[in-house]
A and B are shown apart, each in its own frame.
Chain A
């Protein structure tokens, strides 16, 4: 199974950016953990991060071309603004998870609307940076989810 983990703007600052909300773990350490979990059972996880909306759209299109099995996307602030990412996700038929470190619904009202949620299968939020490894573990451990993924 191939999984893309796509991260949006400011996620590269994890570990130092508002640690009271986002925790002290860096993206590098999260990615290392996830790759380790997946590779135990022979699965591939690729971590990406961009501050640019268009690059994120390109990666989703790339996942379509390469027939990647699942996308886990933390679109960060673009969650609340990007119809382009919504449209790209709609065109991707593999398994899709929207992921957030904090729970956007318990924060400022401008974070209550997500353009991503209606385009994905699953939403996971508010589990801290551990959310990444919980999602990867579930995707690789339960064949039933892989069957859904094309």
Chain B
């Protein structure tokens, strides 16, 4: 049996996590997050592709072009799923398409985006879709999301 492939997609600015004061790691970098994800996927027998894009259009392009190549998606859109109404529409339609194919999709954030001072961070809007949401567990947000996708893939 082929192993399931998941895409972990990180949005603009996430290459530098030095402003993130979150639990789980004092000097968190995206490399450490990637390593943790790769370790978690390995244990579960999942194939993983981990990417980060600073350009929002490029990120959405990856998402739209590669929908058929992956079985599940974990997305950290930072605050950019709401940076413009066009982005919001493109995110919604991509998420709706993934969800319509009955593939698991989970939105993750390293920090709790509802804490004060994070006004620009709003959850993805994709009405009628089924999207998981994990925020504020540091790099463990990704670990929880990977475990959850794996469970969903096994249930399907």
Q: Is A15 an interface residue (CB 8 A)?
A: no
Is A83 on the interface with B (CB-CB < 8 A)?
no
From B12-20, B47-55, B67-75, B139-147, give the one contacting chain A. B139-147
- Which of B2-10, B58-66, B83-91, B128-136 participates in binding chain A? B128-136
Per-residue 0/1 for B88-128: is the Cβ within 8 Å of any A Cβ (1 yes, 0 no)? 00000000000000000010000010111000001111111
Q: Which of B23, B106, B130, B135 contacts A123 (CB 8 A)?
A: B135
Distance A145 CA – B25 CA, assembled complex (angstroms):
10
Q: What size tier do the contact residues of chain A reach?
A: 20 to 34
Q: Is the CB of A103 within 8 A of B130?
A: yes
Flag if A125 contacts B127 (CB, 8 Å).
Answer: no
With a CB–CB cut-off of 8 A, which chain B residues contact A131? Answer: 148
Give the size category of B's interface with A.
Answer: 20 to 34
> Which residues of chain B are within 8 angstroms of A144 by Cβ–Cβ distance?
23-25, 140
Indicate if the CB atoms of A118 and B115 lie closer than 8 Å: yes
Among candidates A106, A121, A125, A142, residue contacting B128 with C-beta atoms closer than 8 Å: A106
In chain A, residues 112-140, which have Cβ atoms closer than 8 Å to a Cβ of chain B?
A: 114, 117-118, 120-127, 130-131, 134-135, 137-138
Interface presence of B137 (CB below 8 A): yes
Residues of chain A within 8 A of B42, CB atoms compared:
none
What residues of chain B lie closer than 8 Å to A142, measured between beta carbons? 24, 140, 143
Query: Whole-angstrom distance between the alpha carbons of A124 and B133 in the complex?
Result: 6
Among the listed A117, A123, A127, A145, which residue makes an inter-chain contact with B140, where contact means beta carbons less than 8 Å apart? Answer: A145
Contacts of B148 in A (CB 8 A): 127, 130-131, 134
Interface SS majority for chain A: helix
A120 near B112: Cβ-Cβ < 8 Å: yes
| Alpha-carbon separation in the docked complex, A140 to B84 (Å) | 40
Contact at B133–A145, with CB atoms within 8 Å?
A: no
- Cβ–Cβ contact A145 & B115, under 8 A: no
* Partner pick for B137 among A106, A127, A138, CB 8 A cutoff: A138
Chain A residues 75-134 with CB under 8 Å of chain B are 103, 105-106, 114, 117-118, 120-127, 130-131, 134
**Across the interface, which residues of A come within 8 angstroms of B137, CB to CB?**
121-122, 138, 145
Most buried by A among B115, B133, B140, B148: B133
Q: In the complex, which residue of chain A has the Cβ closest to the Cβ of B147?
A: A134
Task: Report how far A134 CA is from B115 CA in the complex, Å.
Answer: 23
Are A120's CB and B144's CB within 8 A?
no
Q: Does A67 contact B (CB under 8 A)?
A: no
Q: Which of A117, A130, A134, A137 has a CB less than 8 Å from the CB of B114?
A: A117
The 4 closest A-B pairs by CB, nearest first: A117-B114, A122-B136, A105-B123, A126-B132
A residues sitting closer than 8 Å to B (CB atoms) are 103, 105-106, 114, 117-118, 120-127, 130-131, 134-135, 137-138, 142, 144-145, 148
